[in-house]
Amino acid sequence: MATVRSDSMLTLHYRLAAPDGRDWINTFGHRPATLTLGTQQLAPALESCLVGLEEGASAHFELPADSAFGARDPQRVRRVPRSLLQQHLADDVHIAVGDALQLAGISTPSGASAGATVTAVDDDSVELDFNHPLAGKAVVFDVQILGVL
């Protein structure tokens, strides 16, 4: 049987959940995910859990808040003028607290388009949280490795 390496392409079922059992992502019972490790498709802490598992293996991991998606960084929360934000959104987009936005033309250091959660809105500005939505939260990670290439 093949073993997962840090650069493996693999097909798996996985579940990412809160410690109370509330699912954030769950592919069990649906189409499995196919991904390549080392390409930032999963958080590094989640990838580390997979390395060394064999094809056919199932595993359960409990990751503390500071290691799963890192600690929340208050410096990643920014208030921006609505006019600036509208330059990066379609004209018909209505902005509300809790919205998750992908901002065209704004990228992360890795080159991915920046994602943010709207945390406050007023007439002139919008507060955006660029932290990962699971930053600062403990997670449960259940996996079943279906195939390793």
pLDDT in tens, 130-148: 998 888 999 999 999 999 9
* Fold type of domain 9-69+135-148: Chitinase A; domain 3 (3.10.50)
Per-position pLDDT tens, the chain of length 149: 899 999 999 999 999 998 888 999 999 999 999 999 999 899 999 999 999 999 999 999 999 988 888 888 999 999 989 888 777 776 667 889 999 887 766 655 555 567 889 999 998 999 999 998 888 999 999 999 999 99
Domain boundaries, the chain: 9-69+135-148, 74-129
* Residue-level pLDDT at 112: 58
Residues 118, 121, 126, 127, CA torsion sign = negative
Tokens in use for 113? 């388009």
| pTM for the whole structure | 0.75
Under a CB-based contact definition with an 8 Å cutoff, are residues 9 and 31 in contact? no
pLDDT tens for residues 39-58? 989 999 999 999 999 999 99
Domain spanning 74-129, CATH architecture: Beta Barrel (2.40)
Q: CB under 8 Å to 6, separation ≥6 — which residues? A: 37, 38, 47, 51
Q: What stretches of the chain adopt beta strand conformation (E)?
A: 9-17, 23-26, 33-36, 58-63, 77-81, 100-107, 113-121, 125-129, 139-148
Tokens in use for 56? 């056919």
SS3 content of the chain, % helix, strand, coil (to 5): 15, 40, 45
Under a CB-based contact definition with an 8 Å cutoff, are residues 4 and 50 in contact? yes
* Residue-level pLDDT at 57: 98
